[in-house]
Chain A
Amino acid sequence: MKLIYEKSERGRRASSLPRPDLPRGDVPESLRRTRPPRLPELSEPELVRHFTALADRTFGVDTGFYPLGSCTMKHNPRVNERIVALPGFRDLHPLQEEAASQGALELMWRLQEILGEIVGLPAVSLQPAAGSQGELTGLLLMHAYFADRGEDQQRREIVIPDTAHGTNPASVTMAGYEVVGIKTDRRGNVDLDDLRGKVGPRTAGLMLTNPSTLGLFDEGIEEITRIFHDAGALMYYDGANLNAICGISRPGDFGFDIVHFNLHKTFSQPHGGGGPGGGPIAVRERLEPFLPVPAVVRDGDLFRLDYERPKSIGKVRGFCGPFGVFVRSYAYIRSFGPGLKEMSEVAVLNANYLLARLKDAYELPFDRLCMHEFVLSGRRLKREHGVTTLDVAKRLMDYGFHPPTIYFPLIVPEALMIEPTETEPQETLDAFANAMLEIAREAAEQPELLKEAPHVRPVKRLDEVRAAKRPVVRYGFGEGDEPQAEGTPGEVRQLEAQKGA
């Protein structure tokens, strides 16, 4: 398929703009644009066809089953798209007078109250733009809290389990802390003996997801809380897996002091091919003064932005955060009410059902019921038939499914991390399970089907090594960016394909 630049034709144009009857404005020559940017030149019909073709080459939750672990690829309600397009939300400027933004301010305040109730913590900021930014904000809060108590020089370490999502240690480094890793035991819980030896006066806090990325609720959570609180440290909850426990258990109740939410996971903000998301945080009373500024507060019947926050860590993002995301999540939660509990119950039911159907054909590293997701290992297939989890994932594409997460968490070899979510019907779960069982059979009898998969996507398996070795990250406009031919038929064909596709 051609790039939009390859379809461009000089002089074509889609836009029409008002041209007021005024003298032409100009800028000083030293600041003036010399060469125009080579943006595409297409008519509107061509534009629409191009982006339609791109959409046709993309698989979303709307297309089919998308069981990525810890991503919570649930259905995104259409009514939310209608609501977010209301002019009162869509066309509202963030610096509008507060008296003329009461609907927006009230929505944010109510969402804060709701999120606080869901996790059992009283103070909420909606500002962070994504889960990982929520993590960074939480760590900056920890730092501010300890600095306020004169303990920040002493407490330089954050404890993270080996099952943690990569954003956790990355956020720790960005916040200026050091990572201390702890192991997972054979039940899939945090290894308490390992933990006890590593928590002390140098510890600022813990970062934990619960249930973990193994899909297991930590059975030792009460002891973990005791260990950290006895050491004067704080506990941070990564809310990526909140979909498992809404209305059933609350991180604030089982000891966490800071929680971040992923609005694009649990609360239905569509994933958008990689964003936008939302990463609000909820904190205990004693951390409230450090929250980002402005705070959204209620003053009788009015809602205001409070900038008088001398202990605040500052600002992590512009304005109040990704407001359009709040609108969708608020609408989503209002359509469940206390029935959010059923959302989590069905998420856990669906996951356990798939687990029951698949655990014999694949290896289950932790022999327990799971929560909203579970991890299998493809190790036996590799040992016995030489096919890897990567091959299984690519072959699933031929069956019309998006593969689950692969090679994560790191502690399970050849990992497959599967989260069906609560919006899937039983028929889909059965179809997926049947495909996985069929693939296990193919691995034994026709492994080349897996090794050469996918067969039915717009492209065959892509060469990621080449992309990293000789990065081509923009269109070259034919200016010497042609790749070097290396004499093998594949590369020669690729040059031809590039010109004509």
Chain B
Amino acid sequence: MAATETYPDQLRYHAEHDWARIEGDEATLGITWFAQDSLGELVHFEPPAQGSTVAKDSSYGEVESVKAVSELISPLSGEIIAINQKVVEAPETVNEDPYEEGWLVRIRLSDSGEADSLLDAAAYKQILEEQ
């Protein structure tokens, strides 16, 4: 089902197991391989409303598996400009491909300086080892 454990180098990470792909003044957000593995097969994605704002380090939605609910913590602040309908309809997409098909939302950044405080792949992997 799930892909093998990877943490792509071109992404930035948040200690709460969320990732961001930053492209200019927009970013795509999702959850890491570790997060989907801990939760198990996802059964539900509760997305935020299109156009709503999200703040760095705060919750923008939820994903659920049979045994757990997890808040989605945003690594960056911005406005929600797109929601991945595919995950809404088939939440298990996140388990199969957490970084590409399984993206959750896209935001327009409100403060591009925030990216500096995020972890790179090596630093995030370090956190996982210490868990």
Contacts and interface: CB of A to CB of B under 8 A. Distances in A.
A–B contact (CB under 8 angstroms): yes
A86 interface: no
Interface string B51-88: 00000000000001111000000000000000000000
Contacts of B66: 464-465, 467-468
A469 interface: yes
B44 interface: yes
A181 B12 CA distance: 30
Contacts of B40: 465
Nearest to B40: A465
Q: Which of B43, B64, B67 has the largest count of A CB atoms less than 10 A from its CB? A: B43
Q: Which of B65, B66, B67, B91 has the most CB of A within 10 A?
A: B66
Contacts of A468: 43-44, 64-66
A407 B67 CA distance: 10
A469 B42 CA distance: 8
Interface string A397-436: 0000000000100000000000000000000000000000
Interface residues of A, number: 6
Nearest to A467: B66
Interface string A260-271: 000000000000
Contacts of A464: 66
Nearest to A463: B66
Interface string A55-81: 000000000000000000000000000
Interface string A452-486: 00000000000011011100000000000000000
A468 B91 CA distance: 11
Contact of B41 (A407, A465, A467): A465
A325 B41 CA distance: 41
A13 B65 CA distance: 43
B59 to A, nearest CB: 15
A75 B108 CA distance: 62
A465 B40 CA distance: 9
Nearest to B41: A465
B64 to A, nearest CB: 7
Contacts of A467: 66
A165 B66 CA distance: 19
Contacts of B64: 468
B120 to A, nearest CB: 29
A490 to B, nearest CB: 16
Contacts of A465: 40-41, 43, 65-66
Contacts of A407: 67
Contacts of A469: 43-44, 91-92
B92 to A, nearest CB: 8
A465 B91 CA distance: 11
A23 B69 CA distance: 57
Contacts of B43: 465, 468-469
A469 B92 CA distance: 10
Contacts of B67: 407
A407 B40 CA distance: 15
A469 B40 CA distance: 13
A467 B43 CA distance: 9
Contacts of B92: 469
Contacts of B41: 465
Interface of B: 40-41, 43-44, 64-67, 91-92
Shortest 6 CB-CB contacts between residues of A and residues of B? A468-B43, A469-B43, A464-B66, A465-B41, A468-B66, A465-B66
12 contacts: A407-B67, A464-B66, A465-B40, A465-B43, A465-B65, A465-B66, A467-B66, A468-B64, A468-B65, A469-B43, A469-B91, A469-B92
Given A468-B64, A469-B44, 15 more contacts: A407-B67, A464-B66, A465-B40, A465-B41, A465-B43, A465-B65, A465-B66, A467-B66, A468-B43, A468-B44, A468-B65, A468-B66, A469-B43, A469-B91, A469-B92
